[in-house]
Each structure stands twice: as C-alpha cells, then as structure tokens.
Amino acid sequence: MVKSEFLYKQLYDSLAERIRSGQYPAGGLLPSEAALRKEFQVSSITVKKAFGLLAEEGFIRRVPGRGTFVRDGIPGGRPGPAGGAARRIGAVLEHVSTPFGLEMMYRMDRAAEKAGYKLCVRFSYGNQKKEKEEIAFLIAQGVSGLIVMPSHGSHYNTEILKLVVEKFPVVLVDKRLDGIPVPSVRTDNGSAAAQLVRALAEEGCRRISPVTYEESGATSLEERQRGFSDQLAQLGLPEAPKCAIPALDAADMVDNAPTEDIVEFLKNFLLRTKGGLDGVVCMEYGVVPPFLLAARAAKVTVGAGAGELKLCCFDEDYLAPEGFRFTHVKQDETRIAEKAVSLLIAQIRGEKSPAEDYRIPAVFRRGPTA
C-alpha cells in the first residue's frame, strides 16, 4: 500500500515537473499510459492515479478518443489559483424543475464546492443530439469528470458509452443504462411506487390505476410500473386499466406541457373508467397538471372525500402558493447529488469506483387531499 502510493506520487511529481519545465508544453499531448508504464516501470493503476491527481490539480485535461493534454493557462507550470486553472467538473442534465432536479443541481454545486471543484452545468432538454454536443463542449472546456442525467429514449447515447470505454470519469444520475459498466445514482423507484399503492389501499382504494407516459427505454418508469404491479399482487388487489399517455417528443416531456391532445387523451380515459376507479398513481409529476384538467373536463372530482378519486404521485410542486397538495414520494435529491459527486471525485483521483447501481430510498409525504 505504502509502496503503491509512493510510486504514484513519484510519477505525479515527475510529470508535473516536465509540465512546469515546458518539456510537455501547454496544449501538448502527454505520452500514452502504455508509454509511461514502460518508461517508469509502473502499473496501469499507478499511472491512472498520477493522471487523476494531475487532472485534479489543473495540470491536464482528458479528451476521450484523443488523449491527455496539458491544460492552457498554467504560467510557469503552476496549477491552481496561481495559474488560473480552476478545477472543474461538468454536469449534463436532461432538465430541472421544482418537483425534481432543481434541488439536486444546487446540492451538486455545494458538494463540488466543498471538494474544491467548480460545477459547470449544461442541459440536453431531453434531446440526445444536444446531449452529445454538451458532453463534447464540457470536455473541451477541460472538466475533469462528468455527471450525466441521460435523456429519455429507446436507445442510449453512444457518447456516454465512449466516455466509459475511454475511462473518462463519469457518473449517471436518475437513470441506469443496461449493459454499460458505469456507476449510477437514482431513486429506488420500485419501492417508491409500492409505498404509494399501500397509501391508497390504506385509504380504502381497491381499483387503482397507474398514469404514466408510454416511453420505451425509460428504466425509471418501467421500474415504477413493476413496483406498482407487484404491490397490487401482494395486497390481493386487481390490475385496473393502465393509462399510458402516447410517447411525447423531448420538448413536451421536459416542459411538462399540458397540451390539448394530452388533456383530451386523459379525459377519454376517465370517461371510459368513470365509476370504476377509486385511486390513481401518477408516475411522474408532469402528468398531474394535465390529469387535473382532464378530470375537471370529465366531471370527475379528485380529492380525499367519499366517492372522490384519490391521487398520489412521484414528487410535487413545492413552490406552489398553497404548498404541496397530494400524498407523494419525494426523491431524495440531496443524497443523490452528494453520492454522485463523491463517486465522480473518487474516479478523478484514480480510486476504484465500481460500476454499481446506487438506489436511494424516496421520502414518503402525506398530503392534505389524498
């Protein structure tokens, strides 16, 4: 252990001195890991640890598919404030809103600041092409690692796979991508959905319907549906008709826009099932506003009273003037953010970061109307 740390520090000192002396000039490409292993007779782990510290100290930046480059703006080869090279990590988020994302982004920045990094945030708005562009932009800005909230879609963005293959530090939040060995931090969606079903059952509901988007490839929604169905089975309750809103384009999903088509679709569902349902679980808060508009149009009363349709949901609008209204599960954005940042910093420092799927329990909150 001591010897390994000594070799990694020796290699770091040697490479830092070469940068200071101009042997490796600003903007220049460093030797490959293989070349450094051969020259210094060290292991791959030692080289990665040295590179991690060099990146953390502002000496170098890694560009997947191209190599490792000396950072610009390091007069005299000195990193940190004297050289004007701030340590930075990037985040590419699908979107943020009051129900989910805004607090997570704030907590990411706090955690990054505490670790000595500046957080640079970009948004994909649910568009995989833009997601790819923003990843490339942040890497070009010299970030040492990336936190990515992948966009919805039937297929994952190959740019994320490229980051993993090139061993660029990356952590996913909110979603997991099957088959890609990368750490992910997200809500335990199945358990959260089960909590909502139990809450409605405790209120006497026996015909409970899930309201969700018909979105293939969205792991979180699929897990919520499984948790919902499994809990119904455990309670001995029948499967009620499922309300799956036709897949939307990226902009509609991000903006949670209650378009006329969506409201009409939900209204027709409520008219078909009128009198046959006593509870619904909205799998994303974005479906709540159009659902309430549709209920009003279908003359279905949503509330906690006898004969009223009871509604539970994922997340809630905490900035609404009247406060939150519905019983819901709130995703623990603070824990998600802090775990994601800590995993990323560990990768940047060259520490082993297993490609585990970290599931954070949601927080159950009972509302006044259901």
- Percent of the chain at pLDDT above 70? 88
Evaluate whether 245 touches 289 at the Cβ level (below 8 Å): no
Strand segments, DSSP code E, in the chain are 60-63, 67-70, 88-93, 118-123, 146-148, 170-173, 184-187, 208-213, 243-245, 279-282, 310-314, 327-330, 357-360, 363-365
Find tokens 């046959």 and name the residue: 276
Q: How confident is the model at residue 82 (pLDDT cuts 50, 70, 90)?
A: very low
Q: What is the pLDDT of residues 232-274, one digit of tens each?
A: 999 999 999 999 998 655 445 455 566 889 999 999 999 999 9
Residue 370 maps to a domain: no
Q: 43 and 23, same structural domain?
A: yes
Q: What confidence score (pLDDT) does residue 80 get? A: 42
Q: Express each pLDDT in 2-11 by its tens digit.
A: 444 568 888 9
3 state SS for 319-337: CCCCCCCCEEEECCHHHHH
Residue for token pair 């903006």: 255
Instruction: pLDDT band for 360, please (50, 70, 90 cuts).
Output: very high
Q: Please, how many CA atoms are within 13 Å of residue 79, restricted to the half-sphere of its CB?
A: 19
Mean pLDDT, the chain, as a whole number? 86
Q: Is 101 helix (H, G, I), strand (E, B) or coil?
A: strand
Token pair belonging to 273: 């099932």
367 lies in some domain: no
Residue 216 is predicted with a pLDDT of: 56
291 occurs within a structural domain: yes
Q: Which tens digit of pLDDT belongs to each residue from 188-243? A: 999 999 999 999 999 999 999 999 987 655 578 889 999 999 999 999 999 999 99
pLDDT of 79 strictly over 50 = no
How confident is the model at residue 355, as a pLDDT? 80
pLDDT at residue number 6? 67
Residue 78 has pLDDT above 50, yes or no: no
Q: Are 218 and 175 in contact (CB under 8 A)?
A: yes
In this predicted structure, what is the pLDDT of residue 185? 97
The Cβ of residue 334 has, within 10 Å, a number of other Cβ atoms equal to 16
Residues 32, 54, single domain; the answer is yes
Nearest to 63 by CA among 40, 41, 30, 97: 30
Residue 74 has pLDDT above 80, yes or no: no
DSSP code at position 305: S
Same domain membership, residue 133 and residue 207: no
Domain end among 23, 48, 77: 77
CA distance 365 to 113: 30
Identify which of 60-69, 117-126, 251-260 has the greatest average pLDDT: 117-126
Query: Could you tell me if residue 11 is inside a domain?
Result: yes
Better pLDDT: 86 or 238: 238
Which residue range forms the structural domain that includes residue 165?
86-187+333-362
Per-residue confidence band for 77, with pLDDT thresholds at 50, 70 and 90: very low
Residue predicted with more confidence, 155 or 211: 211
Which residues 6+ apart lie within 8 Å of 212 measured at CB?
221, 224, 225, 242, 243, 244, 245, 282, 283, 284, 287
- pLDDT for residue 161: 84
- 369 in any annotated domain: no
How far does CA 100 lie from the centroid of its chain?
Answer: 11
Query: Which pLDDT belongs to residue 15?
Result: 92
Query: Highest-confidence range of 21-35, 89-103, 216-230, 316-330, by mean pLDDT?
Result: 89-103
Burial-class residue 222 by CB neighbours within 10 Å (0-12, 13-18, 19+). Answer: middle
Question: Does 225 fall in a domain?
Answer: yes
Does residue 217 belong to any structural domain of this protein?
yes
Within-domain flag for 171: yes
- Give 86's pLDDT tier (boundaries 50, 70, 90): low
Q: What is the pLDDT of residues 12-62, one digit of tens each?
A: 889 988 888 888 888 888 999 899 999 999 888 888 888 888 887 778 887
CATH value at residue 203: 3.40.50.2300
Q: How far apart are CA 312 and CA 279, in angstroms?
A: 8
Together in a domain, 111 and 170:
yes
Please count the structural domains in the chain: 3
The alpha carbons of the chain give a radius of gyration, in whole angstroms, of 24
Burial 41-60 (b: 16+ CB within 10 A, else e): ebeeebbbbbbbbbbbbbbb
- Model-level pTM? 0.79
Of 53, 77, 101, which residue is a domain's last?
77
Residue 75 scores a pLDDT above 50: no
CA distances from 249 to 153, 213, 243, 257, 289 (A): 10, 11, 18, 11, 18
Nearest to 269 by CA among 209, 228, 206, 215: 209
